[in-house]
């Protein structure tokens, strides 16, 4: 990657994220219980956990898209739930489902942020956009619309859109879930390189063990809306907690499939 991503005036200023005693319920359903996290500035922090455990909801709290039932999330010294915070900190969220603007072409999806924030002229914006697209091998899709893209392409456009924003805090919600192995490897490199060049803080929610173990400075496991484990990747190479061990290395036993066991369980 070249200097196109170091042109931002925000490079260098970086923020940690503190989640304290966060609870969240939707009506009667409790989704998050007593979440405490302390992500350091410039850190790559991975969050893993089973489907439905509350990872996306946690990420939305950090992005200020959900309000906590109790507890709080701080980015640096700012309250994540306060709309004013967005004028002080530039964060980008790669949505699990992409959340591309369906009425805009791929190019305009990426150019929207710099245009709306009046960051330079159209030529400069074009260079930034094309650079981000080339990193994710999307040059051929520039003029396509989101409805004409495959799932993995949408995800890549979403990632490229976040890169163009040159954020100080980058949140990824399962960035590799729809990518092929080569693209996943590329993304691993992107996340690591970005941190090196811009000191951005990254929080990566993922099911992808390779991604997590390759780039994470620290890892957290969320299960049933609680933090089940937190530590260095090395700590989880052979985890003591049997639940985490089983999550990371599920035993495939074709003789005794899980769903049969489930049936027995209900009897």
Partner 1 sequence: MNLPTAILSHIGGTLLLLVRTLKYLPTLPRQFPRFMEHCYLIGYTSLPIVTILSFFIGSVLALQSGYSMENFGAKQFIGTLVGLTMARELGPVMVAILITGRVGSAVTAELASMKVYQEIDALVTMNIPPERMLVLPRLAAVLVMMPVLAIIANLCGWYGGALVCQYTHFISVDSEAYFSALKLYMKPRDIVDGLIKAEFFGFVIMLVCCYIGLNTRGGPREIGASVTKAVVTSLILILVLDYFVTKALLFT
Ligand X SMILES: Nc1ncnc2c1ncn2[C@@H]1O[C@H](COP(=O)(O)OP(=O)(O)OP(=O)(O)O)[C@@H](O)[C@H]1O
Q: Which residues bind Mg ion (CB under 5 A)?
A: 56, 96
Q: Please report how close the Cβ of residue 232 comes to ligand X at its closest, in angstroms.
A: 22
Q: Pick the stretch among 5-13, 52-60, 163-171, 255-263 that binds ligand X (CB under 6 A).
A: 52-60
Q: Which stretch of DSSP H or E encloses residue 66?
A: none
252 makes contact, choosing from Mg ion, ligand X, partner 1, none, with CB < 5 to 8 Å by partner type, with: none
Interface characters, 63-102, with ligand X (x: CB under 6 A)? ---------------------------------x------
How far apart are alpha carbons 236 and 35 in whole angstroms? Answer: 20
3-state DSSP percent of the chain in helix, strand and coil, to 5: 40, 20, 40
Q: Which stretch of DSSP H or E encloses residue 182?
A: helix 181-198
Of the candidates 174, 41, 44, the residue with the CA atom closest to the CA atom of residue 99: 174
Are the beta carbons of 168 and 128 closer than 8 angstroms?
A: no
Burial of 150 (C-beta count, 10 Å sphere; 0-12/13-18/19+): exposed
Q: Pick the stretch among 45-53, 74-82, 237-245, 258-266 that binds ligand X (CB under 6 A).
A: 45-53
How far apart are alpha carbons 244 and 5 in whole angstroms? Answer: 37
Q: Considering only residues 3, 9, 28, 51, which one is a binding residue for ligand X as defined by CB under 6 A?
A: 51
Q: Considering only residues 37, 44, 46, 57, which one is a binding residue for ligand X as defined by CB under 6 A?
A: 57
HSE-up of residue 213 (Cα within 13 Å, Cβ side): 9
188 touches ligand X (CB under 6 A): no
Q: Please report how close the Cβ of residue 116 comes to partner 1 at its closest, in angstroms.
A: 5
Task: Rank residues 20 and 30 by Cβ distance to ligand X and give the closer one.
Answer: 30
How far apart are alpha carbons 191 and 208 in whole angstroms? Answer: 14
Are the beta carbons of 105 and 111 closer than 8 angstroms?
A: no
Q: Please report how close the Cβ of residue 240 comes to partner 1 at its closest, in angstroms.
A: 37
Interface characters, 200-219, with ligand X (x: CB under 6 A)? --------------------
DSSP 137-172: T-GGGTT--GGGS-HHHHHHHHHHHHHHT--SEEEE
Q: Please report how close the Cβ of residue 265 comes to partner 1 at its closest, in angstroms.
A: 31
54 touches ligand X (CB under 6 A): yes
187 makes contact, choosing from partner 1, ligand X, Mg ion, none, with CB < 5 to 8 Å by partner type, with: none
Binding site for partner 1 (CB under 8 A): 60, 63-65, 86-87, 90-93, 95, 97, 99-103, 112-113, 116-118, 165
How far apart are alpha carbons 216 and 245 in whole angstroms? Answer: 18
12 makes contact, choosing from partner 1, ligand X, Mg ion, none, with CB < 5 to 8 Å by partner type, with: none
Residue keyed to tokens 């967005």: 86
Task: Rank residues 15 and 247 by Cβ distance to partner 1 and give the closer one.
Answer: 15
Summarize as ranges the residues that interact with ligand X (CB under 6 A).
26, 29, 31, 49, 51-57, 96
């Amino acid at each position: 990657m070249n200097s196109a991503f170091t042109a931002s005036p925000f490079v260098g200023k970086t923020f940690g994220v503190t989640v304290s005693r966060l609870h969240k319920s939707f009506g009667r359903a409790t989704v998050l219980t007593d979440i405490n996290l302390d992500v350091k500035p410039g850190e790559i922090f991975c969050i893993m956990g089973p489907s439905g455990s509350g990872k996306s909801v946690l990420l939305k709290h950090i992005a200020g898209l959900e309000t906590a039932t109790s507890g709080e999330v701080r980015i640096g010294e700012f309250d994540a739930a306060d709309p004013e915070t967005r004028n002080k900190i530039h964060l980008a969220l790669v949505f699990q489902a992409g959340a591309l603007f369906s009425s805009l072409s791929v190019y305009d999806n990426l150019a929207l942020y710099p245009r709306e924030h009046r960051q330079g002229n159209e030529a400069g914006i074009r260079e930034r956009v094309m650079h981000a697209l080339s990193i994710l091998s999307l040059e051929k899709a520039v003029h396509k619309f989101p409805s004409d893209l495959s799932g993995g392409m949408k995800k890549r456009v979403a990632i490229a859109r976040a890169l163009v924003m040159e954020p100080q805090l980058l949140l990824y919600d399962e960035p590799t879930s729809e990518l092929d192995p080569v693209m996943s490897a590329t993304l691993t490199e992107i996340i690591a390189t970005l941190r090196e060049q811009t000191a951005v803080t990254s929080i990566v929610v993922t099911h992808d063990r390779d991604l997590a173990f390759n780039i994470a400075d620290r890892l957290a496991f969320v299960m049933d809306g609680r933090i089940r484990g937190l530590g260095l990747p090395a700590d989880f190479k052979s985890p003591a907690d049997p639940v985490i061990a089983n999550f990371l290395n599920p035993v495939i036993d074709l003789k005794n499939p899980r769903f049969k066991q489930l049936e027995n369980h209900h009897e």
